[in-house]
Structure formats: C-alpha cells, structure tokens
Structure 1
C-alpha cells in the first residue's frame, strides 16, 4: 500500500477520534469558578510582560492580593502594573534562578500576607529560544533549564508550606512542546517536559493535603508574549564551528530562520485564552489538571498526539514540508 495514502488514512482516523473526544469533553459537566477571592494572596512569577503581566491585572481586578514577581521592578512592564492595578498589588524583585531572591520574596510575602493567607503560586517565569540541538552548547541547555525548570522547582519548594496551609493551588505554565516533537525546539522541550514531570509528581503528593496542581499548555502565542528571540541567519551561522558549517550550509540556516520566524508570526496576538485558563485553574472548584490552549481546529490533533505510539508520531512529523526540504538540503551534499 502506498505510504502516503496509508499515512493520510492514519491522520484521518486520528482527527476523527480526537474530535469525538473533544465533543465528549465539552458535554462532561464542569462546575464553573466559584471561589471568593478577597482576603487571599497569589504569587505570580514573570510579571514583567506576557501572560504573567496580564494575569496580575486580572487577579487584581478580582480582589486577590497579588505579589507580582518581576525580573526588573523598575522596568516599564512592572511600573505599568503599579499604574493600572490597585494598591493591593505588590511588586517583588524576583529572579527565579537566584535562591536569595526567592527567599527574600518568601519573607516579604510572609510579612504581608492578608487574612486568609497565600492561596496560590503561579510559576509563569520562562524563557524561550530556538535552535537545532547541534547548534547549541551544553550551556544553552543549562540556561533554559535554570529558568524554566529549576526556577519553578526553587520557587515551589520555598512557598509550598504557605500554599498547603490554605489548601490552595499550584499552577505551572508549560507548553505544547512538552509533548510535541518539533525541529529547533530541543532545549525548550527538555525544560518543559521536565517541568511537567515535576508538576505531575507534585500533584500526586499534594492531593493528600487538598492542594490542587494545574498545568497550562499554550500553543503558539509568540506574538502575544514576544518570548521568542528574534535572530538572523548570520547570528546562528557565526556560532557554528567549521565542522558544523560544512554540515549545515548557510542556505539551510537562512531557510530555517525564515521558516521559524514566519511560524511565530502566525501565532495568536492575544494572551486572553491563556489568562482565562489560569484564572479558572486558580478559582474553579474543579480545576483541570491540564489546560491545552490551541486553536479549535488543531485541538483534536494535539489531544490525541500524546496517546499515539512513537512510530506514528515520527511518521506524521516526517510529512512536514520543512522536514523534507531539510533532508534534501543536508543529506544530498
């Protein structure tokens, strides 16, 4: 049987099953948000820009005492929060890669807790970058892990006693790249897959104490957050040694850069879907364990993808036009 025809049949079956699962999930009864927010505090990391910035504003409007962790408290983003939010919001200087910053933040929170205590920690601080694995160094991976994984672990361990006391919530901002294999996202995927493993283990442990743990899985929100670094082909090329320059020719480097940049431009320009999911995770009486945030047309695919065997997911990935072009440009040398 023709391989392309067979793969097309597989995709059709996957999409149909995924659509049925999605429709069933919509029919399943869920109780909506019902928590009274006044008198509780929430710590959010990474509030300078993006999801964290907009979540801080949303929770402030709901009446939470918001501790907004910012990398640059004197920066434009942090000061914008001060201008737009109530006097209850408090800025914290918080670099999640620094143990001293985390401990200082904990002391400030403990000294300024409202009557009902610390309801939640939202581990939102994160960085992103793109490159094929051979274009990276071990330090590139370490930098990604320091923020996206260890930063969340460090912050969670420090604040868990306060959240456990309120039987509150722990929320982690992950990504579809925690389970979706894609060219150029190796370091980012490693950090987010590790983050989800930590959150899953924490959820099981915290269930005994009444603490609920949720994972947010945004898709392409590159335009809304500006988290992805903008680079040129020359930026990548200049980092490669001579052996890799022979393997990854300049023409391919420029093509990959153009492809990745154009893909980011197609992403959502609004943070609203992610912020609404975060608010639901924090305030609903039945928060979800995972919130997958992709366009409705892509939802069946991403819902079913983690359930498929690797032989099928690899086959689907190989159908990408960029992957085919890559093979032609690199292996035909």
Structure 2
C-alpha cells in the first residue's frame, strides 16, 4: 500500500455482489479508496470495510449520479479520481419474439445508458487526473448466443461506445479499456437461468412449441458451464490490475472461454458460427428435461 494509492479514489458501480464487490475489495487491498456503488442500506452494510466506502448508486437515477459527482468534488482529502469501473448490469434472457419490449428497454437503460450517464458526469475528474475508464463488457459483446439477444445487444453497444469514447478522449490523457469476461460465478449469472425458465413458463402454446427446447437447452448448457467458471475473486484480481497497470491494452478477455470464443467469433465465418451454436443446442436438447411449469395461454 503506497502513499500515492492512499490518496486516490476509484469508483466501482454494481459493487453489491459478484465481480463488483470483489473488485472493490481487491482495489482497497491495494491501497485505493473505493467508492462502491450499491442500491440498498443492507448492501452498503455488507460491502463497507477499510478502504471501501459504499455510495447509493442506481446508475439510471440522475440524482444518484449527480450525488456521486458531488462526493468526488467535495472529497475532504482532495483525492483525484484514478479510475471509473463501469460494472453495474442486469441480465434477462428470452427469445427476441418473447421478451417484452419494456425488458429490452430496462436492460439498455442499465447496461448502456446508465454507464454513459456516469461517464458524462465523471469525465471532467478523470481528465484532471489523466485517469482511466474500465467498461465491463462480456463475451456476449462479441458473440450473441440464442435467447441472449437483449443482453448481448447492450454489450455490443457498450463495445462500440467504448471504441468511440477511447478515440475521443485519448488526446485528453484519459484511457478507455474494455474487459470481456466469459463465464464468472456470480449471483447474477446464477439467477439468469431461473429468470429465463420463469419467462418461458409464461409463453403461449405456439411459443412453447417454437422455443421451449431452445430455452431449456441453453439454460442447461450455461448452468453446466458455470459450475467450472472463473470465481469472482479471480476475475476481480485481473480487473484491478487492468484498472491500475501503467500501459493497458484497449481490450482484455477474462477466462479461458472468453480467450477462445472472442477470436473465434471475429475470424470464423458467420454461418459456421451458426452451425457451432446449432450443434451445441442439439447436444444439450437430448440431455435436457422439458420446461417445468409451462402455461399455455
């Protein structure tokens, strides 16, 4: 822990659980003072620790974002903002035809527009400190699985926004880095399968016939993979390093699966990728049980 690090702030959004909480703790252990974004008092009590200061932060609430900027501007120790780690996110997966439009909009509000709002408010502080923005994307920002259209769409958009932003602010001394995690064991990842099955359970008979097996096999595949996925603490260690290393790359993958899938998606012909996904669906379909609790309208 150096004196320099003691005198620097880092903001981590979505710090109540999973990657965000682990990253906040990792950065605090390195000596940074972390402003950890949470949404409830209970979450604040859980994350509060030496070097970790919880702040109420729903990134879709303008008043929360404004209060965060005021907290940084009014820091009693006049510490510079070294990094902003945009980690908050939600994941609700269902086929394009089935997922309600309000849920599409909700995911874009959190996974894209909320991050833009925070960046717009905090960029002046990062310009002063010649700091860094780390956007937590996903392997889904490069390769979109079936039923992941809305979530992947937000991450594809985050990737594009990050590219534009990086080119806009490079001359100002601000660095923009994208981290593309693959499978990481988090509460959000664990919940997403249950949410998908719950939504599928409300599909009408025609949608059940068209998509039931696809949802079941995709959820089963992801659940099996998460059992051997990267622990959140290991993911956090790499994100903290990316946020603080002297000369970062523009992008980093996180996990063996991401390191494999990201280049595969970029260089493999699209139709061949389609066949890879179809083959995976067929193999999982044979091993998956029918959706439970299906209700036909």
What TM-score comes out, normalization by structure 2 length?
0.85
Identify the range of structure 1 (137-146 vs 298-307) with the bigger mean alpha-carbon deviation.
298-307
Post-superposition CA distance 1:188-241 (Å, at most 9, x none): 1001111111111111111101111111111011x3344433427872344324
Q: Is the 8 A contact 2:83 2:131 kept in 1?
A: yes
Q: Deviation at 1:78?
A: 2.6
Alignment of 1:19-58 (within 5 A): 36-58=4-26
Alignment of 1:1-333 (within 5 A): 36-72=4-40, 74-75=41-42, 77-82=43-48, 85-86=49-50, 88-112=51-75, 114-221=77-184, 223-227=185-189, 228-231=191-194, 235-248=198-211, 252=213, 255-256=216-217, 259-260=220-221, 262-268=223-229, 270-295=231-256, 299-322=259-282, 325=285
Q: Deviation at 1:56?
A: 1.0
Q: Is the 8 A contact 2:200 2:208 kept in 1?
A: yes
| Corresponding residue number in structure 1 for 2:290 | none
Instruction: State the secondary structure of the residue aligned to 1:285.
Output: coil
Q: Deviation at 1:315?
A: 3.3
Post-superposition CA distance 1:107-139 (Å, at most 9, x none): 122111644411111100011122121220111
The Cα RMSD (Å) is 2.7
Query: Counterparts of 1:180 and 1:231 in 2: how far apart (Å)?
Result: 22
Q: Is the 8 A contact 1:45 1:70 kept in 2?
A: yes
Q: Is the 8 A contact 2:139 2:258 kept in 1?
A: no
Larger radius of gyration: 1
Structure 1 unpaired stretches of 5+: 1-33, 327-333
What TM-score comes out, normalization by structure 1 length?
0.77
